[in-house]
Structure 1
């Protein structure tokens, strides 16, 4: 079955826009200093080497749903969302001390290895960390630049700008709330929900939809419908991500089994388990969270505790409730029928995935 991201040939068009932009930026960096070649190529590899392209798809069909005509300028504009995503993932992997992303070394590990292989001075780990911070920053800077050089008209860009800015602020503060929640060991469902909303849910679905709608000059009624559709769907997407972070197959996710446990993620799934477990089991699960040395046996035990608490079933049920609300909003939205069909398929793909 064809992925809904392929509708209108979108995925290869997004990849083409990204490849062209990144090639131009690579040449610009090399002109500054040839030593920047590897720096530029690392971002190219990261952005072009994988990713579901869901955010550009939601933005593009938000645009089409508001009556916007197909345009390579719009495809380039929504492709800028992949650079926001790259920035978030590079920084997220660094903060979580993740070793891999999509089955390849995380960016900080890539540069750590480069330092070690070259026999450079100083600490290899610190060099890798510094490079990842800067590369993530560069991706965020370039996201803004790609939006501006996409070819949108001044009016289109003026409508898109506030949505784009708000989205980047939200994902950044969401990342901090995630770090803060791990540090304070806050396991409340309320805190987990807020982190999920701002770290991932809003910038995965709602803001891309609103961005596309803004470019097309969508009515306030349609933009409200996009929010009603996008917010619960974005939360459902994050809940699926949380489940995969603990129960996912590493051969599918590209990350080691139990990484979210070792990173101490205080997700909705974990919060639901804490609510249901008795004091002894809760203390056992709490000890596993954030334990960098947690082995496969420890991961399996934590999975047993979570599953036995009913938290996995409760989280799946929560996804179903959110999906029902999201799809009801989509059905009632005053929009183009082709876009409605594709957005429905994207919603299903976002929440039924295994990676």
Structure 2
């Protein structure tokens, strides 16, 4: 499974990864095209959930999870010609699609990547056509099934990956579901608890975005010995990634993020940002839970606490921790440098 392809120039390394990511993209599209062809002759309605997934793929996305997976694989000396790593990268992106569609229902989000979310699209379709039943329940039901279909496809894809990657894949999938539950519960309870907030950030987002995909890739290349270094790196950079998301939700521009801002406020998400702020200013809890508050009021109150500035400093420290974790890892220097650069890019959302 391994080769000496991990050595070379930075340009060669980036080109190898770019080629693998193009193949991941092709694999996603070819899977959905084949599924559509298989079902189209059965009944015209059967292709609706498949088309919904195809539209999500076509809408863009950063492909962060496949990128970390193939980076871990190549850094571990994996053979870039092996089709199994392409399947693994596609599986991670398909799992992410499942999580996005379900997340949008849980968060009652109206847009994703600048377009109406799945449940919003089908709620409007139901209402516009005057169908029987409740439009909202129909839209959310369709979205849940579309997300479940993506989950099914993700498992089919991962079954084609090298078998050493499977234990990490199983941990990743159960972890993100438990993290989602903890997120929902913390929003209902809405108590300032930094320990719980950090746990949610790690298991719902950070590990499944960075840590686990890296280890899936390394395991696929037969380098289980890299798991410890990738865990330390991934835990730090993954938390930085989630904290950046929290800041973008609070202070970002919808035109840039492609989704509504202020959802963490309206959905009472107990992020580390809000948890720290509520510890400094008890009025923030009341402000968010009272009907009629505006995101602008919450933002001003958050800024007054100084917490956003402290979160930025915490992100800086996490990025540095991640870079140190990878500095002495048994990897070619090219890949240590690339992983250090990736830490900065995901934490600060630079291209």
TM-score norm. by structure 2 comes to: 0.91
1:90 corresponds to 2:89: no
Matches within 5 A, 1:208-219: 208-219=213-224
CA contact (8 A) 1:93 1:106 kept: yes
Match of 1:348 among 336, 344, 350: 344
SS in 2 for 1:206: helix
- Distance change in 2, residues 1:123/1:197 (3 Å): same
- Could you tell me which residue of structure 1 aligns to residue 3 of structure 2? none
Is 2:47 the partner of 1:37?
Answer: yes
The yes-or-no answer on 1:270 pairing with 2:274 is yes
SS at structure 2 position matched to 1:289: helix
Gaps of 5+ in 1: none
Query: Contact 1:108 / 1:129 at 8 angstroms: preserved in 2?
Result: yes
Pair 1:25–1:339, CA change in 2 (3 A): farther
* 1:252 Cα offset (Å): 0.3
CA distance in 2 between counterparts of 1:24 and 1:133 reads: 22
Deviation at 1:257, TM superposition (A): 2.9
Distance 1:215 1:190, change over 3 A: same
Q: Deviations over 1:83-132 (max 9, x none)?
A: 11111111111011111111111110011112123221111111001011
1:113-132 → structure 2 map (5 Å cutoff): 113-132=124-143
The answer for the alignment partner of 2:72 in structure 1 is 62
For the structure 1 residues 292 and 174, does the alpha-carbon distance in structure 2 shift closer, same or farther, using more than 3 Å as the test?
Answer: farther
Partner of 1:312: 308
SS of equivalent to 2:78: coil
CA shift in 2, pair 1:348/1:184, >3 Å? same
Deviates more, 1:332-341 or 1:298-307: 332-341
Going from structure 1 to structure 2, the CA distance change for 1:288 and 1:75 (only over 3 Å counts) comes to farther
**Alignment CA distance shift 1:290-1:333 (3 Å):** farther
Q: Is the 8 A contact 1:262 1:291 kept in 2?
A: no
Q: Give a deviation string over 1:124-150, Cα, whole Å, max 9, x none.
A: 11100101111111111110011224x
Structure 1 residue 187: Cα displacement: 1.5
CA 1:164/1:11 → structure 2, altered by over 3 Å: closer, same or farther?
A: same
Identify the residue that residue 254 of structure 2 maps to in structure 1. 250
Normalised by the length of structure 1, the TM-score is 0.90
Number of aligned residue pairs: give it: 338
Q: Which residue of 2 aligns with 1:239?
A: 243
Determine if contact 2:344/2:350 at 8 Å carries over to the other structure. no
- Counterparts of 1:227 and 1:196, CA distance in 2: 15
Q: Which residue of 1 aligns with 2:6?
A: none
2:238 is equivalent to residue 227 of structure 1: no
In 2, the alpha carbon distance for the partners of 1:140 and 1:163 equals: 16
CA RMSD after TM alignment: 1.9
The match for 2:151 is: 140
User: Structure 1 pair 5/243, CA: closer, same or farther in 2 (3 Å)?
Assistant: farther
